[in-house]
Amino acid sequence: YEPLWNSANVDHVQITVAETVGLEDRVTYYDKAGALRDMVQNHMLQLLCLVAMEAPSSMDADAVRDEKLKVL
């Protein structure tokens, strides 16, 4: 991450969610869960954590998870 991925070199991060795929066979799921729960709770929070977290001590799943939790 360092020395480039830091506040001195990164002004801002913009994440755009622009799906080109329709609901297709996910209509039943979307009716129950809603787009907010599907996109924000799952995908967008994962992206936020990956962009904002500190470099993990290793790429081990537990180390990555621990850094993501620090963001949240």
Counting the structural domains of the chain, the total is 1
Task: Give the C-alpha separation, 60 to 25, whole Å.
Answer: 34
User: Is 43 part of the annotated catalytic residue set?
Assistant: yes
Model confidence over 18-57: pLDDT tens digits? 877 777 888 888 888 887 787 777 888 999 999 999 999 9
> pTM, whole model, 2 decimals?
0.69
User: What pLDDT shows up at residue 32?
Assistant: 84
Catalytic residue from among 37, 43, 65, 70: 43
Q: Which of 10-19, 38-47, 59-68 has the highest mean pLDDT?
A: 59-68
Residue range of the domain that includes 40: 1-72
